[in-house]
Chain A
Amino acid sequence: MNAPSAAPTTGSPPHAATRPGQGGSEFLPAVKNAALAALVMLGLSIPIIAFRTENSMANELILLPRWRVVAVLCLIVFAVRLLLNLGGIHIARRRSAKRREILVTRVEAPTTLGQRIFFYAAPVLLGVAIGYPLITTLVNGGLSESRYWIDLGILVLTYVMLGWGLNIVVGLAGLLDLGYVAFYAVGAYSYALLAITFGLSFWICLPVAGILAALWGIMLGFPVLRLRGDYLAIVTLAFGEIIRLVLINWVDLTNGGAGIASIPRVSFFGIPFTADEDGFAATFGLEFSTMHRIVFLYYLILVLALVTNIVTMRLRRLPVGRAWEALREDEIACRSLGINTTSTKLTAFAIGAMFGGFAGAFFAVRQGFISPESFNFLESAIILSIVVLGGMGSQMGVAIAATAMVAGPEMLRNLGFLSAVFGDGFDPNEYRLLLFGAAMVAMMVWRPRGLVSHRDPSIVLGERKAISGALVKEGHG
């Protein structure tokens, strides 16, 4: 193998020598190409961006031209395309040289710098997560001022937990589940109904919500055991919709589309967060602040998410976790080795659903109000894209992807200065789905296997080596 791959490497220096000479002749085609791209952008903008429909004073529909935005976008496309054209040539050359190197020294490839970063990233990120309320308080100059930021942190951690829960089903067991939000809903409604009807406290309802969600996971698991790939995806998608429609239509139990309001708030292990004598603030001799509850919720979801993570990491090192991964790799081989694929799949569904149920109960206690509209397909899609973007099976990747996907769009609210470029009335928030789509496309081009594509072995005899994502299968459903 060495001899043929060495030949192109030795052949490349003459190429490199001739490159400076070509430099001048490369510039004109690059500009031409970039101009063409800008022209295409212009063509695409005319129907989509160039006009905006508004209601006039007389309540008539009028068109507002937005040529400035179009011009700016075309300029951006031109500049980016030109940069890519000029820089891209070098990148492409460097990359092909690198690829040749990888072919030759493939065995040593796994221990890269990236992995070492990830090795240190986990404790650093954990530290940031624990100190986050303190950091925001210091930055914003007060606990109450940082409420928005802590709420955002809670939201991000909820999705991190949901991503980790779904990662068991999709990432480890390789079963594509498009209806994960159903278990989230089961958890939320379990808490809301139990707390309102029987007056049970959050701490009793939390495990019950998890168990009920796990039962629903098994109920979904049974009919889909024989299905794979697309068929599995469609049935799980339908399951998510069925749960939502039942929640809307079973008005007696769930109050239908109006939702359930005034769900009991969380207590500090029995001590309520109120301004009363026996409230949290009075008990601990603090001045009453609504922020105590928010900070407590933040740490509650952080603990729940970490429990999900720790349990998943442990399960991966247990026979059941290895069986999940083996199932993802090859179901037939699993059967030939005496693994009961039925119960293995059902445990994956049940445990994944259980964490979804915990997250749901948390969601209900945090919001104080739930309605079926919180559990639509878009939620499932977001959780699934968190898992896919993060790299299926990677805990760290899922956490980063959840942060980027949930906090990223929120950051758009803070980009008001862009209206100076695009003109008044430009709201970056309107473009979140466009940016989301663009980010997806970019990921699929540059990192098709997700942010963290390598797999960490669950047990080693000697040296721990990461397994390249190219070898790891995604599962057939």
Chain B
Amino acid sequence: MANPDLVSSTDTILTVDHLTMRFGGLIAINDLSFKARRGEITALIGPNGAGKTTVFNCITGFYKPTEGMITLTHTDGSHYLLERLPGHSVSWKAKVARTFQNIRLFSGMTILENLLVAQHNRLMIASGFTIGGLIGLPNFRRAEGEAVDKAKYWLEKVGLTDRADDPAGDLPYGAQRRLEIARAMCTGPVLLCLDEPAAGLNPRESLELNELLLSIREIDKTSLLLIEHDMSVVMQISDHVVVLDYGTKIADGLPEAVRNDPKVIAAYLGVEDDDVEKIEAQVGL
């Protein structure tokens, strides 16, 4: 599967090749291929049950795909075959971070602790795999100071500095969403995968989220891949949209082009009952 085209294109960060995922007889993803470019926000959209979250779980190592290849390319040209890495290495080695559709924070730990847990591997090495930290080597203290500084930077960025010592479970919903993004960013990813980051947010929070995501792309130089239902988010901030329906890609392109694609309108944005046959005839279904 050595694809010369794939190796030469340094601006591609994630390549999904012929990805298929079957659960028994159910085909959740059927031969899906798409690319996400570095420094862009790629949106993965589709109706409920289209297989978006399954794609995410394959990319982030929670599922092992039945077939296909998922390649992540770093700026230094190194490749990681995500479907072959063990679950925790996807974040640590390949630098892919993710958030969850139903927020998964460590609710009984403080916000600062949440952000430090995200920097676990680096701190673990600095603490000499616990032994150095146990006897109090200065090396670990310095590393922990740096980790706290990084956490402070992200607290500032998501506007939670004054709540750093409160338990994460006490935060309002919108703040929990932002904290989950900050926590994922604390792992120092090159690709951030967001599973419905705007779900349950009010219009104002949704706008703030857009700004945060754009700033992550611009300032922190991290590429984003997001699943989203909120069209205002998708259309405003994404550079590239991939549309899934029943596990198959039905459109792939710029937001404008996708928005006007009759196939997408038929499958996802919904049409009047009377128009279904007309549009289906038009798109050849």
Contact = CB atoms under 8 A, between A and B. Distances in A.
Q: Which 9 A-B pairs have the closest CB atoms?
A: A472-B108, A338-B91, A338-B92, A329-B106, A471-B169, A319-B123, A333-B104, A318-B133, A467-B167
B165 A460 contact: yes
Chain A, interface size category, equals 35 or more
Contact of B120 (A323, A457, A461, A472): A323
B170 A471 contact: yes
A462 B120 contact: no
A326 interface: yes
Given A336-B100, A337-B118, A338-B120, A326 B109 contact: yes
A298 B140 CA distance: 36
Contacts of A458: 113
A473 interface: yes
A323 B124 CA distance: 10
B108 A473 contact: yes
Contacts of A467: 108-110, 167
B88 A322 contact: no
Interface in B53-70: 60-62
Interface in B125-178: 127, 130, 133-134, 140, 148, 152, 164-167, 169-170
B108 A471 contact: yes
Interface of B: 60-62, 87-92, 97-98, 100, 104-110, 112-113, 116-118, 120-121, 123-124, 127, 130, 133-134, 140, 148, 152, 164-167, 169-170, 183-184, 187
A388 to B, nearest CB: 17
Contacts of A315: 130, 134
Interface of A: 311, 314-315, 318-320, 322-323, 325-326, 329-330, 332-341, 347, 455, 457-465, 467-468, 471-473
Contacts of B97: 336-337
Nearest to B125: A319
A318 B88 CA distance: 19
A473 B107 contact: yes
A333 B105 contact: yes
Given A338-B88, A462-B165, A319 B133 contact: yes
Nearest to B106: A329
Nearest to A340: B88
Given A311-B134, A338-B187, A459 B148 contact: yes
Contacts of A341: 87-88
Given A322-B117, A335-B62, A336-B98, A330 B106 contact: yes
Contacts of B127: 318-320
Contact of B107 (A462, A463, A465, A471): A471
Nearest to A321: B130
Given A314-B134, A325-B109, A473-B107, A339 B117 contact: yes
A467 B169 CA distance: 10
20 contacts: A315-B130, A318-B130, A319-B124, A322-B109, A322-B117, A322-B120, A329-B106, A329-B109, A332-B100, A335-B88, A335-B91, A336-B104, A337-B97, A338-B91, A338-B121, A457-B112, A460-B165, A465-B165, A471-B170, A473-B107
Given A325-B106, A333-B105, A338-B88, A461 B165 contact: yes
A460 B113 CA distance: 8
A54 B264 CA distance: 87
Q: Which of A322, A325, A337, A458 has the most CB of B within 10 A?
A: A337
Given A338-B91, A339-B117, A465-B166, A457 B109 contact: yes
A117 B214 CA distance: 49
B107 A329 contact: yes
Contacts of B120: 319, 322-323, 326, 337-339
Contacts of A326: 106, 109, 117, 120
B170 A464 contact: no
Contacts of A322: 109, 113, 116-117, 120
Contacts of B166: 465
Contacts of B112: 457, 459-461
B116 A459 contact: yes
A151 to B, nearest CB: 33
B124 A320 contact: yes
Contacts of A455: 108-109
Contacts of B170: 471
Given A319-B130, A333-B106, A338-B90, 10 more contacts: A318-B127, A323-B124, A329-B106, A329-B107, A335-B62, A337-B97, A337-B183, A339-B88, A457-B113, A472-B108
